[in-house]
Structures are given as C-alpha cells and as structure tokens.
Amino acid sequence: MTTRETVGPTLSPVPSPPPVLNYSVTQPNSSTNCIQASMGLELIVLNSDEKERYFNIERYGTTSTGTCGEDKSNLNITFNKGFISITFKKSEDSYYISEIEAVLKVSPQGMLYNGNITNQQLFKTSLGYSFKCASKQTVMLAHNFQFRTVYTQLQAFSINNNKFGKVSQCSADHNIVPVAVGVMVVILIVLGLIIYGIYLKCKSDGYQRI
C-alpha cells in the first residue's frame, strides 16, 4: 500500500550491502534475551515508474525494543521515518517468524509504503538452535513493498547465556557450495589447458631451433 505523507529518507536506485546490526529483546526483570538477532536489513519499494528502489537500515538512529512471551515474542526495530515489526512464535519443538510488518516514509515525494504478512512459518528452526543464512532472504509484504535480510543469524526462545545456539543453516546457503565448487573446477580446467598449450608451444619452438 502507498499513500502520500511527510518527507523522510531517500531511496537508492541500486542495491548495496546493508550493515549487519545487532538486535535483542530482554525478558522483564531479567538480563536474559528472549530474542536476539544479527542481520543486515533492506526494504525494497516499487515506485510509480515500476522501478525498484532500495533503503538500508543503518546503524545511526536505529533502536530495537519488543516483548517477551511464553509462546509469542516480538522484535520492533525503529529507524528514521519507519519501523519493522517481527513476531516469533513457538511450537512444541521449534520456533519461526509468523508475522512481519513494515512502514517506510520516503522523500522527496513524501510517499508512505507499508505492508505486512501474517500466519507464516518463516525461518523455522528447532528450539535451542539459531537460524543462520548469509544468502539474501526476500519477503513480499505488499505488491510494491519487500523486506530483505542478509548475513542473518537469529534466535528466539530457549537462549542460554545470551549466546546463539547451534547453527541451523538455511537451504540457500547449502546451494552456494556446489556452485562455488563447480566454478573452481572450471577455472582449474581452463588454467590446465592454458598451461598445456604453453608447454606444447615451448616444445614446438625447441624443435624448430634444433
């Protein structure tokens, strides 16, 4: 959804890596976190010209708050002219992101972008484990508004000593390894052919000198 509002931050026509920031929500009357996350966040909007524009969540002016519950906890991230709200739910032996809501007011047009999703099971992970994903994870919040994470590690519920638990790696990261290995194999084959070609040329030049 898009409406016209007061001016806010500007958007970039090209994407750039967002800074990785740390967020946490602490249980009441305690020093123990019920949510903790380390991730880069980016919002993507589709403007009136049907072109994507990008907004990174930067360190300056960004704060995090939230609430802790037995089966449901919430992380609220507030920044200049906008916010992101992420709700975590716990099942018997796992947890996941069930809701995401975001609002962004941008200048110079003064447009207000907002969207949300509910009843989801995103980043589902076993209790006591942390979800980790270096790859980009993009979620559609509205037809013209997307939420993206990168270099993510997060955990909700069952956090010991405010340290991330054992890692549960996302499937997107697993796919990176075979691709990287394939690229290295191709490079090695090409280098081998080049070296062999140079060897044959040198050998041929040696025969000609004789």
What is the per-residue burial (b if ≥16 Cβ within 10 Å, else e) of 177-200?
Answer: eeeeeeeeeeeeeeeeeeeeeeee
Residue ranges of domains in the chain:
2-169, 171-210
Query: 8: buried, middle or exposed (CB in 10 Å: 19+, 13-18, 0-12)?
Result: buried
Question: What percentage of the chain exceeds 90 in pLDDT?
Answer: 67
pLDDT value, residue 209: 54
Residue indicated by tokens 């002016």? 61
Spatial distance between the Cα atoms of 173 and 136, rounded to a whole number of angstroms: 9
pLDDT value, residue 6: 45
pTM for this entry: 0.79
Phi, psi of 198, rounded to the nearest 5 degrees? -65, -40
Average pLDDT over residues 118-139: 96
Looking at the predicted structure, is the pLDDT value of residue 130 above 70?
Answer: yes
Average pLDDT over residues 150-178: 88
pLDDT value, residue 106: 85
Spatial distance between the Cα atoms of 26 and 83, rounded to a whole number of angstroms: 19
More confident residue, 184 or 27: 27
Fold category of 2-169 in CATH: Porin (2.40.160)
